[in-house]
A and B are shown apart, each in its own frame.
Chain A
Amino acid sequence: MTQLNSKIPQGPLAEKWTSYKTHQKLVNPANKRKLDIIVVGTGLAGAAAAASFGEMGFNVKVLCISDSPRRAHSIAAQGGINAAKNYPNDGDSVYRLFYDTIKGGDYRAREANVYRLAEVANSIIDQCVAQGVPFAREYSGYLDNRSFGGAQVSRTFYARGQTGQQLLLGAYSALSKEIGRGHVELFHRREMLDVVIIDGRARGVIARNLVTGELERYAAHAVVLATGGYGNVYFLSTNAMNSNGSAAWRAHRKGAMFANPAFVQIHPTCIPVHGDYQSKLTLMSESLRNDGRIWVPKKKEDAEKIRKGQLKPTQLGEEDRDYYLERRYPAFGNLVPRDVASRAAKERCDAGFGVGTTGLAVYLDFADAIKRLGKHVIEARYGNLFQMYEKIVDDNPYEMPMMIYPAVHYTMGGLWVDYELQTTIPGLFAAGEANFSDHGANRLGASALMQGLADGYFVLPYTIQNYLGDQISVARFKTTAPEFDEAEKNIRGQIDRLMGINGKRSVDSFHRQLGHIMWDMVGMGRNAEGLKKAVTAIQELRKEFWKDVKVTGKKDNVNNELEKALRLMDFLELGELMARDALHREESCGGHFREEHQTQDGEAKRNDDDFKYVGVWEYKGENQEPTMHVEPLNYEFIEVKTRNYKE
């Protein structure tokens, strides 16, 4: 059995990373040229890592799913990125950022990793500014900050409502520089479909050329997966359409363990679902909660009238509105963490106070802020978000409160990695949202961008050297090795099988059905009965899929239907594992809310005695029950407390 060794360095928390770097193995410049690294995915984590490896002198191959690295899902992040610069002089520090992140994650993340994240965060901002990222500035010429949920300081750097875009374009430009210099080779429109393992180590990948349909082989001394999260298992989510869980899942099938798959973040402020043709959900950035107030009608009759279109929200007086977050959580108000805000919205809607035609929506109101600051200030802060809202909903949010509802947004779970970001397969690393490492059971706003860039710019460039340090005598691999033959044959078999079924149902119809199962039973509120049902329902759906799916088009051409089918076959397995993980975790923590485990006033009840660990799953074969291992979480430096956002 694989031993889980998290490799946390000895010593005091604040010195662990420095001590690691002091003692790690290095590769000298002449040897770096002899070593190849594959990076899969060009989001913040992948682009930053690949650019940095190239600068250091390694030979890098990058696989990009789109026509350009600049399209990666990270581009869509809106609100901002955290760092503990303490520029506003409001009492921030590395320790406080670390503490907020651990607490925000409901004490289910590894202390040493989170501390390192907080420690390198400041360098990220320095790096991005040096690359020419146009962060928002004050009239003084210095950088501006805003606040995000779960924090009482202003530590979020932003570039209008397009922070992800600007950070990704920064990393993309660094990557382009290295491509131009010949240190990095870019393969675009390629989707990785398998990891190739030789003598127990990751030595390459198989990818499908999405234009020609060819299966291609890539060999290297180490492989980095920076392939993002698996939120699209729910069909509807805020993730980009190409985001998928296959890279991680296929690595899992090859022996990389999967940690905390049930930890999914449901974001409180998204545009509500409006039709069954809908293909994705749109986020309204958390930054809006800086100035927007969330409410529903106080009386059920009013809510009903609003749903029927007989009453407008602007006609309701202050006394008839329930600002339920401010009421329940006076200390943090509208800026409570996401899991708390989402559950509170669901609670109000389930109790009959929801608005919108479906009753599954609450208001996010800017009237007070507009009165206080003027429309132009609100426009300068959130103009593009307001415009996006108006385009989708056809309603003017400057005049009518926005309608919002929670939606699947981010996956805290992912490939298990040790302190070096190495998975349980030696030589296979996972970075960014693809790994499980830093956010525990709930991620705080503006910390995914921070983690992606931390992993890519400042962690992997060190830790991968420690791995490659003893690989310098290993000659370049040939892609003719039998392990490559075997992996390619396997993928070819899957493709032929999918295209040969010729059933009656479209790929999307299956995906939508899986999405319903996941949202209803493995969503915001979970219970044992529902989760057991979900496991069986997914197993049945999987059988149905393999009998009745219809994949049109050709395998040797561009074929979106085949791409979707390959991803869905993995989601149909991953979804089951998520349900199993949620079922085993008999507690409520962060985004994982088990209805059986709540306090009288509906707050999450954590169980530290039995579940203060990472649940790490091992794949045991198709249709076999997976095995769970445990990585205990030892908090040496902070006191584990009940999360409290009330006082």
Chain B
Amino acid sequence: MKFTLKIWRQENAKAQGRFETYQLDNISADCSFLEMLDILNEKLVNDNISLPVDTITFDHDCREGICGMCSLYINGRPHGPEQGTTVCQLHMRRFNDGDTITIEPWRAKAFPVIKDLMVDRNAFDKIIQAGGFVSVSTGGVPDANAIPVRKEDADLAMDAAACIGCGACVAACKNASAMLFVSAKVSQFALLPQGKIEAKERVQAMVAKMDELGFGNCTNTYACEAECPKNISVENIARMNREFFFSKLTLAKRESNGGGVG
């Protein structure tokens, strides 16, 4: 197969970026999208034997659709044309011979470009650090079967926990909102007895952090769900909104009773 690639090149965070055009021929339909970029990079090295060249930088690690590292915006869609698929699991057979493919990094204020197609997603870590956990230390916990959990709840928690933290939801959203990511974590814990105890404080802390880091508001267009490679449901957003308002009420009540959140 033959492709024309228009790829975003940007030397570093401060530099001006631009599109560069590359031609690739003889690509197998069974080749993955990232392998196609590997081939291009190797060609760049080999074709410019004596010129100073720089290969195209993009994030990736597992290449199995689970680490959430890969993050390419292809022809105007995060992770490209295939529903429910990360770009590392996308194969060239999903394109037509002769296609022109435009490849860009995630675009969001909270995810600045580091180089070429690589962006900084530390903001997600910071949201988790603000409350995306159960405050339990190692040791001193009860037997795993001491607290039964309804299978339905465990399954729903697992659905939410399947989020890979890639940031496609933010890249897909016109407001660059992180609601799907945050709500998935809030939901996972809110659905389980182990997480319920801190649910109120958690949702408040994580939402506050999200706002502080410059993510936009959710205006319910659901582009996030449509582009999520793991099909994380917007029902999580609804659940988080409920948790958020309910917790606001009860925490305010607790505060006025002189309890304080601590």
Q: What is the bound-complex CA distance between A127 and B144, given in angstroms? A: 8
Determine which of A85, A240, A278, A557 lies in contact with B61 in the assembled complex, contact meaning CB atoms within 8 Å. Answer: A240
Given contacts A75-B62, A391-B89, A392-B89, is CB(A129)–CB(B194) below 8 Å? yes
- B49 with A137: CB separation less than 8 A: no
Determine which of A69, A129, A558 lies in contact with B115 in the assembled complex, contact meaning CB atoms within 8 Å. Answer: A558
- A55 with B137: CB separation less than 8 A: yes
A554 is an interface residue with CB less than 8 A from chain B: yes
Determine which of A48, A131, A165 lies in contact with B194 in the assembled complex, contact meaning CB atoms within 8 Å. Answer: A131
Q: What is the bound-complex CA distance between A139 and B188, given in angstroms? A: 19
Q: Which of B11, B45, B62, B134 gathers the greatest number of chain A CB atoms within 10 Å?
A: B62
Count how many chain A residues have C-beta atoms less than 8 Å from C-beta atoms of the other chain.
Answer: 84
Given contacts A131-B134, A135-B154, A457-B138, is CB(A66)–CB(B69) below 8 Å? yes
- B157 with A67: CB separation less than 8 A: no
- Which of B95-103, B117-125, B236-244, B246-254 contacts the other chain? B117-125
- A134 with B158: CB separation less than 8 A: yes
Which residues of A (33-53) have their CB < 8 Å from a CB of B? 48, 51-52
Determine which of A134, A138, A240 lies in contact with B62 in the assembled complex, contact meaning CB atoms within 8 Å. Answer: A240
- B64 with A279: CB separation less than 8 A: no
Which residues of A (120-159) have their CB < 8 Å from a CB of B? 122-123, 125-132, 134-143, 159
A76 is an interface residue with CB less than 8 A from chain B: yes
- A127 with B54: CB separation less than 8 A: no
Chain A residues positioned under 8 Å from B55 (CB to CB): 552-553, 560-561
Determine which of A126, A176, A560 lies in contact with B133 in the assembled complex, contact meaning CB atoms within 8 Å. Answer: A176
State how many angstroms separate the Cβ of B181 from the closest Cβ of chain A.
12
Q: What is the bound-complex CA distance between A68 and B129, given in angstroms? A: 12
- A165 with B66: CB separation less than 8 A: yes
Count A/B pairs, Cβ under 8 Å: 219
- Which of B35-43, B170-178, B213-221 contacts the other chain? B35-43
Given contacts A277-B28, A553-B54, is CB(A76)–CB(B142) below 8 Å? no
- Which of A167-175, A463-471, A488-496, A590-598 contacts the other chain? A167-175
Given contacts A68-B122, A134-B157, is CB(A241)–CB(B144) below 8 Å? no
Q: What is the bound-complex CA distance between A142 and B143, given in angstroms? A: 11
- A506 with B42: CB separation less than 8 A: yes
B91 is an interface residue with CB less than 8 A from chain A: yes
Determine which of A71, A137, A457 lies in contact with B154 in the assembled complex, contact meaning CB atoms within 8 Å. Answer: A137
- B49 with A68: CB separation less than 8 A: no
Chain A residues positioned under 8 Å from B151 (CB to CB): 137-139, 141
A609 is an interface residue with CB less than 8 A from chain B: no
- A130 with B150: CB separation less than 8 A: no
**Interface 0/1 of B52-83, CB less than 8 Å to A:** 11110101111111111100000000000000
Residue of B nearest to A506 (CB): B45
- A160 with B158: CB separation less than 8 A: yes
- B138 with A67: CB separation less than 8 A: no
Chain A residues positioned under 8 Å from B147 (CB to CB): 129
Determine which of B49, B120, B148 lies in contact with A140 in the assembled complex, contact meaning CB atoms within 8 Å. Answer: B148
Residue of A nearest to B147 (CB): A129
- A76 with B38: CB separation less than 8 A: no
Q: What is the bound-complex CA distance between A318 and B35, given in angstroms? A: 39
B12 is an interface residue with CB less than 8 A from chain A: yes
Chain A residues positioned under 8 Å from B57 (CB to CB): 558, 560
A289 is an interface residue with CB less than 8 A from chain B: no
B1 is an interface residue with CB less than 8 A from chain A: no
B260 is an interface residue with CB less than 8 A from chain A: no
B130 is an interface residue with CB less than 8 A from chain A: yes
Which residues of A (59-76) have their CB < 8 Å from a CB of B? 66-73, 75-76
- B154 with A176: CB separation less than 8 A: no
Chain A residues positioned under 8 Å from B12 (CB to CB): 557-558
B5 is an interface residue with CB less than 8 A from chain A: no
Chain B residues positioned under 8 Å from A87 (CB to CB): 145
Given contacts A162-B162, A277-B38, A552-B55, is CB(A55)–CB(B138) below 8 Å? yes
- A279 with B142: CB separation less than 8 A: no
Residue of A nearest to B145 (CB): A142
A585 is an interface residue with CB less than 8 A from chain B: no
- B158 with A280: CB separation less than 8 A: no
B161 is an interface residue with CB less than 8 A from chain A: yes
Given contacts A130-B136, A137-B149, A241-B61, is CB(A279)–CB(B35) below 8 Å? yes
Chain A residues positioned under 8 Å from B49 (CB to CB): 504, 550
B30 is an interface residue with CB less than 8 A from chain A: yes
Q: Which of B122, B133, B162 gathers the greatest number of chain A CB atoms within 10 Å?
A: B133
State how many angstroms separate the Cβ of A409 from the closest Cβ of chain B.
13
- A131 with B133: CB separation less than 8 A: yes
Chain B residues positioned under 8 Å from A506 (CB to CB): 42, 45-46
Given contacts A127-B141, A278-B35, is CB(A76)–CB(B128) below 8 Å? no
Q: What is the bound-complex CA distance between A502 and B51, given in angstroms? A: 10
State how many angstroms separate the Cβ of B80 from the closest Cβ of chain A.
12
Q: What is the bound-complex CA distance between A609 and B28, given in angstroms? A: 52
Chain A residues positioned under 8 Å from B122 (CB to CB): 67-68, 188
B105 is an interface residue with CB less than 8 A from chain A: no
Determine which of A48, A180, A559 lies in contact with B129 in the assembled complex, contact meaning CB atoms within 8 Å. Answer: A180
State how many angstroms separate the Cβ of A380 from the closest Cβ of chain B.
9
- B144 with A129: CB separation less than 8 A: yes
- B66 with A162: CB separation less than 8 A: yes
B223 is an interface residue with CB less than 8 A from chain A: no
B189 is an interface residue with CB less than 8 A from chain A: yes
State how many angstroms separate the Cβ of A384 from the closest Cβ of chain B.
9
Residue of A nearest to B120 (CB): A67
Residue of B nearest to A211 (CB): B114
Determine which of A69, A130, A137 lies in contact with B142 in the assembled complex, contact meaning CB atoms within 8 Å. Answer: A130
Give the interface of A toward B (CB within 8 A): 48, 51-52, 55, 66-73, 75-76, 85, 87, 122-123, 125-132, 134-143, 159-160, 162, 164-166, 169, 172-174, 176-177, 179-180, 186, 188, 211, 240-242, 274-275, 277-280, 282, 388, 391-392, 394, 457-458, 461, 502, 504, 506, 508-509, 550, 552-554, 557-561
Give the interface of B toward A (CB within 8 A): 11-12, 28, 30-32, 34-35, 38-39, 42, 44-46, 48-50, 52-55, 57, 59-69, 85, 89, 91, 93, 114-115, 118, 120-122, 124-125, 128-139, 141-145, 147-151, 154-155, 157-158, 161-162, 164-165, 188-189, 192, 194-195
Q: Would you give 16 A-B contacts (Cβ < 8 Å), ordered by A? A: A67-B121, A67-B122, A71-B62, A75-B67, A76-B64, A127-B139, A129-B147, A130-B142, A141-B149, A143-B144, A180-B129, A240-B67, A388-B65, A392-B91, A502-B50, A560-B55
18 new A-B contacts at CB < 8 Å, known A68-B165, A143-B144:
A70-B125, A126-B143, A130-B134, A134-B154, A134-B155, A137-B149, A159-B158, A162-B66, A164-B66, A166-B158, A176-B129, A240-B61, A275-B30, A280-B63, A394-B91, A457-B139, A504-B49, A550-B45
